[in-house]
Structure 1
């Protein structure tokens, strides 16, 4: 059954989309510029989903800074442990090899599983942390500069995104994801 929207609903949806366009563009641009001047890659694949949750759904439990910190913290810890256990501490990441090695597949599975299980026990759900677990355990965000960049980018998102949604004029209205 098709859902018909009124012009007021379309207008509200457009305004939320415009807010997200501006806020997310500004957020990622600032993180990219800071990374450029810091000499680190701060814009990683965990920045986008974390920014999305915090900007588009700021009142949702998964967007809480506490859950983001716990989620990414657990993911980094489990990812590092699994990377070490599977001999990937200094292994080139998947993107450089062109395919996934058996050790990378072996490391990413328990890192993701431990992250999800720990966050469930802690009651700190934050879906983007699963991406962090994969990046770290596979060696894509290896210890050293890649990992520092990943962490710094996430810290900036966790500081700047909540501030952006609280700026005067930044309406916290969200749109339901159905239809």
Structure 2
């Protein structure tokens, strides 16, 4: 049994739904469903992954990219600026970045690290690079802190309800009764 998909009828005066100018069924559903859905997805991704945070992650990730550009050190240093207090010595970072670049440009026999864990092992002599790779592993890309706090609040309330003793319950009941019975 094959279902025939039809284009909804169009009228001159439309009150309850959109009236799209389309000639074919495919064109109608592209305008009515596909394009609004894609617009929604793009807006959600833009709000979920804010541009500055995403750009910062991209700049730090250049540490683990085998192709080094000319301004590699400056780009990484610009991305690391908010985290400079986490580094051992921010002023020594540019030198370490040059050394990191030189290690991989000169020694072609070594395999470039494919994961942050491999890069972490290979950066044992460069403490700032190690910290940056650690940051890259734990850096949040999304902004869901509010959602996480609601989840934590729910767990905390559940814990408090389940561990309440009879003495505490009686004390809370007395507090509530004295508060509501006072004249205002």
Q: Normalising by structure 1, report the TM-score.
A: 0.33
Higher relative contact order (CA 8 A, sep 6+): 1
Q: Normalising by structure 2, report the TM-score.
A: 0.33
**Structure of greater Rg:** 2
